[in-house]
Amino acid sequence: MIGAGWAGMAAAVGVAEAGHQVTVFEAARTPGGRARAVQVDDALSSKPLVLDNGQHILIGAYAECLRLMRKVGVDPDKALLRTPLALVFPDGGGLQLPDAAPPFDALLGIARARGWSAREKLALLMRAAKWRLQGFRCSASASVADLCAGLPKRLMDEFIDPLCVSALNTLAVDSSGQVFLRVLRDSLFSGRGGSNLLLPRMNMGALFPQAACSWLLARGSADVQLGRRVRVLQRDGAGWLVDGQPFDAVLLATPSAETARLVASAATPDDHAMRDWAACAQALQFGAIATVYLRVGTGRDQPLLTHPMTALRSSATRPAQFVFDRFQLYGDSGVLAFVVSAFDGERDALLQQVMLQAAEQLGLHDLEHIQTVVEKRATFACTPGLKRPAMRIAPGLLACGDYVDGPYPATLEGAVLNGSAAAASIRN
């Protein structure tokens, strides 16, 4: 196993469950990949403040994430705060679903949405009904903007755009309508609780990848090598060599560019299939996500926001789409995490823009900057008609990152589903 992110650890757990020995190579010093813990100095404490490299969320429909957490000893009921889906702005406007079975939760939520006119609510209900009658399918070339053409601007600004950018990290005009509809179907209409927000109460490393490492080591079925970047992948008869070490099979759970490098280097001059696979992976485009961590004054041991996750009205100069009250989730005194999906601006300007946004929309002025984390290749651009590389590369060689061919965008659930699928393929 090369890579100890969420996909890699899901695959490692699956292979170990089948009774195989697993060796995990990870270039970083900690597992988790793009969803991991980071430590920063805390002026208010002698202990470091444990943050994340990005403020992630899960939803109730993430069945494989929840299964794997339980498998490695993490209790989702304690590790995650479950609340009905809410895209609520600081002034109370927006959508909040009740705790009801679908489709009644969506129907009631839309009917009760604050700040929307009767005409706007009816327009959204009719469009949602149309999507459902069509089986949540559309042309592969259609964008989210195409699907939503004619909807009132307020619905685009306060519902479609925030949902699209949070799920696909791509603006509606550039996002795959096909993938967007699949996400809607599997969240809003997958069963009671599928659309619930699951907000982490522990850092992203502890939530699964670190626990998976401990689970593997406790079973004695794995060798986990952190801080070890794989240099060379080579064929070895029916098996493979990883930096000269022989293995029956190799699962690649590294970012697409790194996987493409390893695959291309292992391909012989006449192995067009492997070279084509590497070219497909290398051609993927990526978007950045920025998370700005701020503290209010010297910290306050009380909630700062009405909701632990609050939607913000974003623009080119007020870029954050969501803010998280980390006191309500982690007990971090006075700490807020502002999330900027599809980030393409300047890092220095970002901090000033977010501080102005906090002052204007939250009424917060006495702010201290803790950390800004920018994941430049956070998610692949989930555009209409996108060609994604297949899971199978060659006999005994598979890729299981969130970018491989599948129905979901770059989400934690997409990553672990691909990891588990790759493990099942190896077992079979």
Task: Please tell me the distance from the alpha carbon of residue 79 to that of residue 205, in angstroms, as a whole number.
Answer: 12
Of the listed ranges 175-184, 186-195, 312-321, 346-355, the one predicted with least confidence = 186-195
- For strand 22-26 and strand 222-226, is the pairing parallel, antiparallel, or unpaired? parallel
Upper half-sphere CA count for residue 243 (Cβ side, 13 Å):
9
Q: Which whole number is the average pLDDT over 188-198? A: 88
Residues 297 and 372 in one domain: yes
Residue 133 resides in a domain:
yes
Residues 327 and 422 in one domain: no
The identity of residue 84, as a single letter, is P
Upper half-sphere CA count for residue 60 (Cβ side, 13 Å):
21
pLDDT at residue 427, as a whole number: 61
- For strand 250-252 and strand 397-399, is the pairing parallel, antiparallel, or unpaired? parallel
Angle subtended at Cα 57 by Cα 194 and Cα 162, rounded to the nearest 5 degrees = 85
Task: Please tell me the distance from the alpha carbon of residue 216 to that of residue 369, in angstroms, as a whole number.
Answer: 38
Residues 278 and 394 in one domain: yes
Domain CATH code at residue 214: 3.50.50.60
Residues 281 and 291 in one domain: no
CA distances for 8 relative to 11, 75, 415, angstroms: 5, 21, 8
Residues 302 and 356 in one domain: yes
Task: Please tell me the distance from the alpha carbon of residue 398 to that of residue 325, in angstroms, as a whole number.
Answer: 39
Per residue in 393-405, pLDDT (tens digit) is 999 999 999 999 9
Task: Please tell me the distance from the alpha carbon of residue 113 to that of residue 349, in angstroms, as a whole number.
Answer: 34
Encoding tokens for residue 380? Answer: 């692949």
Upper half-sphere CA count for residue 133 (Cβ side, 13 Å):
6
Residue 17 resides in a domain:
yes
Encoding tokens for residue 118? Answer: 């009767």
Residue 73 resides in a domain:
no
Task: Please tell me the distance from the alpha carbon of residue 259 to that of residue 3, in angstroms, as a whole number.
Answer: 10
Total number of domains constituting the chain: 3
pLDDT at residue 384, as a whole number: 96
Residues 149 and 24 in one domain: no
Closest CA to 146 of 169, 125, 175, 118: 175
Residue 46 resides in a domain:
no
Per residue in 377-394, pLDDT (tens digit) is 999 999 999 999 999 999
Q: Which residue stretches of 344-411 are H helix?
A: 347-362
Per residue in 52-84, pLDDT (tens digit) is 998 999 999 999 999 999 999 999 999 999 999
pLDDT at residue 299, as a whole number: 67
Give me the domain span that covers residue 157: 85-194
Residues 113 and 262 in one domain: no
Task: Please tell me the distance from the alpha carbon of residue 263 to that of residue 277, in angstroms, as a whole number.
Answer: 8
pLDDT at residue 244, as a whole number: 96
Encoding tokens for residue 317? Answer: 């100069």
* Domain stops at, among 176, 194, 212: 194
Residue 57 resides in a domain:
no
CA distances for 159 relative to 53, 113, 166, 361, angstroms: 26, 11, 11, 18
* Domain stops at, among 343, 363, 380: 380
Of the listed ranges 62-71, 83-92, 180-189, the one predicted with least confidence = 180-189
Residue 41 resides in a domain:
no
**Burial letters 23-54, b for 16+ CB under 10 A, else e:** bbbbbeebbbbbbbbbeeebeeeeeebbbbbb
Per residue in 19-65, pLDDT (tens digit) is 999 999 999 999 999 999 998 887 777 778 999 998 999 999 999 99
Residues 335 and 401 in one domain: no
Per residue in 103-129, pLDDT (tens digit) is 889 889 999 999 999 999 999 999 999
Running DSSP on this structure, what letter comes out for residue 170?
S
Q: Which whole number is the average pLDDT over 250-276? A: 96
Residues 365 and 394 in one domain: no
Residues 394 and 249 in one domain: yes
Residues 228 and 92 in one domain: no
Residue 55 resides in a domain:
no
Closest CA to 199 of 34, 378, 59, 327: 59
Burial class (CB in 10 A: 0-12, 13-18, 19+), 74: buried
Encoding tokens for residue 313? Answer: 């009205």
Q: How confident is the model at residue 289 (pLDDT cuts 50, 70, 90)?
A: very high
Residue 199 resides in a domain:
no
Residues 146 and 134 in one domain: yes
Domain CATH code at residue 369: 3.90.660.20
pTM score, whole prediction: 0.94
pLDDT at residue 187, as a whole number: 86
Upper half-sphere CA count for residue 26 (Cβ side, 13 Å):
25
